[in-house]
Amino acid sequence: MASGLSIAVVGATGAAGQMTLKILEERKFPMRELRAFASERSVGKTVTFRGEPVPIRRIEPGAFKGVDIAFCSAGSAQAKEYAPAIVKAGATVIDKSNAFRMDPEVPLVVPEINAHAARRHRGIVACPNCTTIVTVMPLKPLHDAGRLTRVIATSFQAVSGAGVNGIAELREQTLAWARGETIVPRHFPHPIAFNLIPAIDRFEPNGYTGEEMKLVNETRKILEAPELLIAPTTVRVPVFTSHSIAVTAETAVKITAARARDLFERFPGLKLWDDPAQHRYPMPVAVEGQDDCFVGRIREDLSSANGLSFWVVGDQLRKGAATNAVQIAELLARS
C-alpha cells in the first residue's frame, strides 16, 4: 500500500463493510493506507485486507486526519453523527445509508447513470438503496431512448438485504422445518422460510412502506425526473442473496421489445439474459457474486401501447451496495 489514496471503512466488521473490503481488493483500488473502524466492542479486533490483518480503530477526534475517501457502511444515525466530522477532517465520504440520499446538496450516484453528479459533491456522496440501483439500471437506457412516463416495479428482496440476522433467520427456519419443528419468527414479523412477506420497512400514512418510497424518490432523483410516476411494491422472499424486480415501464416514445434488448445489451453494467425457449432468464442463484445486473423476460405490455415489461436481477450486496460505492470512489480518484 505504498502509493495511492488513504481509505477508511467505517463499519468494517459488518456485512456491507466486509463486502466493501472485498470489492476494493478485487478491483485493485489504488491505496497507500487502509483504516478500519467499527463499534466500540470491535476495537482491538482485526479485519483482513490483501492477506494482512488490519486493526479496528476507535472513532474519535483526529482518527480521520489524512484520509482521502471514507466509506460509511453504518446505519443512518451513525452516518449523520460521523460523516460531517469526517468531511471536516478533509475526507470525502461515500455513504451507503439513507441519511443523506434525499438531501438536495448531496449527489445520489450510480456511476453508469449519473457520474456527472458525483463531481458536484460538497464532501458527501450518497449511494442509493440497493433495490433502487438494480431497478434504475435498465430504466436509464429506456429513459434516454423514449422518455419514461410511468413505472410499475415489484421487488422480490433477498433476506441478506436485512443483514446477517435475515440470513440466520432463513437458515434456522429452514432447518427447523426440515426437523418438523415449529417455525418461530424472531427478526422478521412473520416466518420467512417457504413464505413471502409483502411489506419491508414501516408503513407510511399513504399505505406504502418506507422501502417502497425510497424506490420512488431515489429513482426520480437519479434520473432527474421529479414528476415520473412510479408504483412500487416490495416483497421479502426466502432467497439468501440477490434482489429481483418485475418492472413495467411506459415511455412517451414507443420502444419495441427488440429495441429494448439492443438498448440493454449496449448499456454498461447490464447483461442481457433473454432466451425463454432455452429457459434462459435471470435468477438469483445465477446472478449472486456478480457485479452486473441481468435483465430478461423482455416483452411488450399487453395493457399499454407504449409499455414494456421485463425482469431484472442484481446482487444487492455487490452492485446494490459495495461495488457501487467503490465505483464512486474510482470516479473521485480519477477526478
pLDDT value for 16: 87
| The two domains 5-128+321-334 and 132-316 share their CATH topology (first three levels equal) | no
pLDDT at 111 over 50: yes
Contact present, 297 and 122 (Cβ < 8 Å): no
Contact present, 315 and 289 (Cβ < 8 Å): yes
pLDDT at 94 over 90: yes
Please give the C-alpha separations between residue 164 and each of 14, 26, 72, 167, 204, in angstroms, as whole numbers: 8, 22, 18, 5, 26
Residue 121 catalytic? no
Average pLDDT over residues 180-193: 96
Q: How far is it, in rounded angstroms, from Cα 251 to Cα 260?
A: 12
Q: Which residues contact 102 (CB under 8 A, 6 or more apart)?
A: 108, 217, 218, 221
Q: Is the dihedral of CA 89, 95, 97, 99 positive or negative?
A: positive
pLDDT at 240 over 60: yes
Residue 279 catalytic? no
- For residue 279, report the phi and psi dihedrals to the nearest 5 degrees: 55, 40
DSSP letter at 14? S
Average pLDDT over residues 68-82: 94
**Closest to 202 (Cα-Cα) out of 192, 193, 194, 212:** 212
Candidates 3.30.360.10, 3.40.50.2300, 3.20.20.70, 3.40.50.720; CATH matching 132-316: 3.30.360.10
Tell me the pLDDT tens digit for each residue of 5-47.
999 999 999 888 999 999 999 999 999 999 999 988 999 899 9
pLDDT over 70 for what percent of the chain?
99
Tell me the pLDDT tens digit for each residue of 131-148.
999 999 999 999 999 999
Looking at 72, 121, 127, 130, which residue is catalytic? 130
pLDDT at 190 over 50: yes
**Closest to 129 (Cα-Cα) out of 25, 70, 196, 200:** 200
- Which residues pair with residue 271 across a beta bridge? 294
pLDDT at 1 over 80: no
Q: Does the structural domain 5-128+321-334 have CATH classification 2.40.320.10? A: no
pLDDT value for 221: 98
Q: How far is it, in rounded angstroms, from Cα 43 to Cα 100?
A: 27
- Which residues pair with residue 268 across a beta bridge? none
pLDDT value for 335: 80
2 pLDDT band, cuts 50/70/90, is low
pLDDT at 56 over 50: yes
Listing DSSP states for 26-67 in one string gives: HTT--EEEEEEE--GGGTT-EEEETTEEEEEEP--TTTTTT-
Read off the pTM.
0.95
pLDDT over 90 for what percent of the chain?
94
pLDDT at 62 over 50: yes
Determine the 3-state secondary structure of 9 from DSSP. strand
Contact present, 287 and 313 (Cβ < 8 Å): yes
Average pLDDT, the chain: 96
Average pLDDT over residues 150-164: 95
> How is residue 62 written as a grid cell?
483526529
Query: Which of left, alpha, beta for 50 (phi over 0: left; psi -120 to 50: alpha)?
Result: left
Domain ranges of the chain: 5-128+321-334, 132-316
DSSP letter at 181? P
Which amino acid type is present at position 328? I
Looking at 121, 127, 143, 243, which residue is catalytic? 243
Through-space distance between the first and last CA atoms of the chain, rounded to whole angstroms = 20
Average pLDDT over residues 154-181: 96
Average pLDDT over residues 286-293: 97
Q: How far is it, in rounded angstroms, from Cα 286 to Cα 168?
A: 21
- H or E segment and range at residue 232: strand 229-236
Q: Which residues contact 238 (CB under 8 A, 6 or more apart)?
A: 159, 170, 174, 192, 193, 194, 195, 196
Q: Which residues contact 313 (CB under 8 A, 6 or more apart)?
A: 134, 242, 243, 244, 245, 282, 283, 284, 286, 287, 293, 294, 295
